[in-house]
């Protein structure tokens, strides 16, 4: 047994069985939820109107109690504000003025205000819109939603009043059965969320444990699409289902997915089918995916970007100075899940993990993961992205080894989702790891954090690779039989035959469609 795992196992602190912990935690969580709802009070209510040409937005806000200040999330929002007035009585001058990106409201606050936004100019400032057809635009609420600061007990209900031909897609959850109505609560506000207006394809995709709310935007027509809307939906269904392989369900029951086409006839095909993706937690959880529709289904199924972004949802939003944890866990699961789905064979997955861990080990060795992340150094990017992957691998193996294979990282992550996700707040890494230990029933995660988070260098996974039966020669991973933990190595990347069959079916359908198109063309 390597020094790291000998030390870890000797320092494990026995805790109560997980059933005992769950029995204590669940009533407390239910009481907290009930109290939160009981004290939520009346929501602020917003009515949002957009004209047919999508050039002007008019907003009327009715506050549940007097409000003395409102602001927008973006520093640029003020330049798109055309006019703002309070709509109550008793004010000589109803005009509201801006100062330092906040609206100057009368002393004592107001209960009602309306304002107008230059939506066309706001859309022009958003880079995504340059490659989109004019029938659909993306304009973040950060540029047009002026609101009071929300707490755990306050929320906003928004209703959109738009022409019948116009659609609206936002990351917020629907507000009952009312059309175009949504509710917005407190959230980490990790980035500027996407709001989509206009004519685009909207579909709801059912997968294990979730309904994906998918908006597929129209490109500017300069690229020939090999992937039509149905093909994009099938790819998303397959990729999201891959993530459900971790613990049987998708981590968020109703995320917003925004698919934005990139590339044009002048630039040609992108290097990747999905050249960029990101998760945004702002009033809800949204995933933006930039896609090159000129690529094939095979290229999309082999791309790791969406799997990585979806894997982020297995954790709450972790504060920026601890981002190495969230990025690393997503890196680990990205490779493990693509092996389980059959996209990678197990040896390929281990090769990719080895190469990534080596890049992390060589990245700024004089810095600790916490230091590298807090300083935001581009030169330490690989340390930030792979330190957490090393810790995730170590934790997964430790859980499996200690339990004889009955406990896994998957199982602990599933318990985290059941108790705490989606989360409306920001977590620290120590808080997250302490919670994972409580859910595991014994200490595994915090000893790893204490050992590596503030230690210069990189978690050394080479002894663990040796115990798993993974030998490195000329930077190539080879499998060695008879290794101490080869059963754990196999279990981590074991294929799921049902998912593999589904992916083979998608590939066969694409082949058949291309063959039919080719035959028709030859005539």
User: SS3 letters for 92-156?
Assistant: CCCECEEECCEEECCCCCEEEEEEEEEHHHHHHCCHHHHHECCCEEECCHHHCCCECCCCCCCCE
Q: How confident is the model at residue 271 (pLDDT cuts 50, 70, 90)?
A: confident
> Cα–Cα distance between 338 and 341 in angstroms, integer?
5
The residue range of the domain holding 320 is 3-32+314-492
Nearest one of 367, 390, 522 to 454, comparing CA atoms = 367
| 470, 480 contact by CB (below 8 A) | yes
Q: Is 396 exposed, middle or buried (0-12, 13-18, 19+ CB in 10 A)?
A: buried
Per-residue pLDDT at 507 exceeds 60: no
Predicted TM-score (pTM) of this structure: 0.86
Give domain status of residue 398, yes or no: yes
Per-residue pLDDT at 26 exceeds 50: no
| 495, 339 contact by CB (below 8 A) | yes
pLDDT of residue 219: 92
pLDDT digits (tens, 9 = 90+) for 214-257: 999 999 887 677 899 999 999 999 999 999 999 999 999 999 99
Nearest one of 107, 168, 118, 114 to 138, comparing CA atoms = 168
Give domain status of residue 132, yes or no: no
Per-residue pLDDT at 406 exceeds 70: yes
Per-residue pLDDT at 37 exceeds 60: no
pLDDT of residue 170: 97
Backbone angles phi, psi at 321, to 5 degrees: -70, -10
> What end-to-end distance do the CA atoms of the chain give, in Å?
67
Distances (CA, A) of 152 to 46, 202, 425: 19, 31, 9
pLDDT digits (tens, 9 = 90+) for 303-361: 999 999 999 999 999 999 999 999 999 999 999 999 999 999 999 999 999 999 999 99
Q: How confident is the model at residue 422 (pLDDT cuts 50, 70, 90)?
A: very high
Higher-confidence position of 22 and 255: 255
* C-alpha 41 chain-centroid distance: 30
SS3 62: strand
Per-residue pLDDT at 55 exceeds 80: yes
pLDDT of residue 220: 87
Task: Give, in degrees to the nearest 5, the angle at Cα 114 between 109 and 118.
Answer: 130
pLDDT of residue 325: 98
pLDDT of residue 177: 85
pLDDT of residue 518: 42
pLDDT of residue 22: 44
Per-residue pLDDT at 14 exceeds 50: no
pLDDT of residue 358: 98
Tokens for 190? 């990790």
pLDDT of residue 24: 45
Give domain status of residue 400, yes or no: yes
pLDDT digits (tens, 9 = 90+) for 155-166: 999 999 999 999
Give domain status of residue 183, yes or no: no
Mean pLDDT for 275-294 is 96
Give domain status of residue 26, yes or no: yes
> Cα–Cα distance between 53 and 50 in angstroms, integer?
8
Give domain status of residue 120, yes or no: no
Give domain status of residue 209, yes or no: no
Tokens for 189? 């506000």
Give domain status of residue 89, yes or no: no
Structural domain count, the chain? 1
> Cα–Cα distance between 226 and 295 in angstroms, integer?
6
Q: How confident is the model at residue 10 (pLDDT cuts 50, 70, 90)?
A: very low
pLDDT digits (tens, 9 = 90+) for 461-504: 999 999 999 999 999 999 999 999 999 999 999 986 555 555 55
Q: How confident is the model at residue 152 (pLDDT cuts 50, 70, 90)?
A: confident
């Amino acid at each position: 047994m390597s020094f790291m795992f000998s030390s870890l196992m000797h320092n494990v602190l026995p805790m109560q069985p997980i059933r005992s912990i769950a029995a204590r935690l669940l009533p407390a969580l239910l009481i907290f939820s009930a109290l939160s709802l009981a004290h939520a009070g009346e929501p602020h209510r917003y009515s949002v109107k957009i004209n047919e040409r999508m050039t002007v937005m008019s907003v009327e806000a009715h506050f549940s109690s007097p409000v003395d200040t409102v602001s927008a999330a973006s520093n640029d929002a003020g330049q798109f504000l055309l006019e703002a007035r309070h709509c109550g009585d008793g004010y000589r001058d109803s005009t509201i003025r801006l100062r330092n990106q906040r609206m100057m409201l009368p002393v004592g606050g107001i209960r009602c205000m309306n304002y107008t936004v230059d939506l066309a100019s706001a859309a022009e400032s958003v880079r995504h819109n340059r490659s989109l057809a004019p029938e659909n635009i993306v304009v973040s609420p950060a540029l047009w939603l002026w609101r009071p600061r929300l707490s755990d007990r306050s929320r906003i209900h928004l209703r959109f009043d738009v022409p019948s031909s116009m659609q609206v897609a936002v990351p917020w959850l629907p507000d009952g059965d009312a059309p175009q109505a949504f509710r917005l609560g407190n959230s980490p506000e990790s980035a500027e969320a996407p709001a989509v207006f206009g004519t685009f394809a909207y579909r709801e995709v059912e997968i294990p444990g979730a309904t994906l709310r998918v908006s597929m935007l129209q490109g500017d027509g300069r690229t020939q699409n090999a992937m039509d809307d149905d093909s994009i939906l099938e790819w998303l269904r397959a990729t999201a289902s891959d993530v459900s392989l971790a613990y049987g369900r998708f981590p968020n029951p109703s995320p917003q997915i925004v698919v934005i086409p990139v590339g044009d006839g002048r630039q040609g095909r992108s290097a990747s089918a999905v050249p960029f993706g990101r998760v945004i937690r702002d009033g809800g959880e949204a995933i933006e995916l930039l896609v090159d529709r000129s690529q094939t289904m095979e290229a999309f199924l082999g791309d790791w970007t969406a799997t990585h972004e979806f894997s982020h949802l297995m954790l709450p939003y972790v504060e920026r100075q601890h981002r190495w944890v969230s990025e690393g866990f997503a890196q680990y699961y990205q490779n493990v899940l693509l092996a389980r789905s059959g996209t990678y064979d197990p040896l390929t997955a281990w090769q990719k993990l080895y190469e990534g861990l080596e890049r992390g080990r060589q990245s700024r060795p004089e810095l600790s993961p916490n230091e590298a992340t807090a300083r935001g150094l581009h030169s330490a990017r690989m340390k930030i992205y792979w330190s957490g992957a090393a810790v995730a691998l170590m934790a997964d193996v430790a859980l499996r080894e200690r339990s004889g294979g009955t406990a896994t990282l998957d199982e602990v992550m599933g318990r985290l989702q059941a108790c705490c996700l989606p989360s409306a707040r920001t977590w620290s890494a120590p808080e997250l790891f302490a919670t994972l230990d409580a859910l595991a029933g014994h200490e595994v995660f915090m000893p790893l954090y204490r050992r590596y988070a503030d230690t210069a260098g990189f978690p050394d996974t080479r002894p663990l690779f040796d115990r798993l039966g993974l030998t490195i020669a000329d930077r190539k991973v080879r499998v060695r039989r008879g290794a101490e933990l080869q059963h754990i190595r196999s279990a981590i990347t074991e294929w799921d035959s049902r998912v593999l069959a589904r992916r083979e079916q998608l590939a066969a359908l694409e082949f058949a469609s291309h063959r039919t198109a080719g035959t028709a063309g030859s005539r």
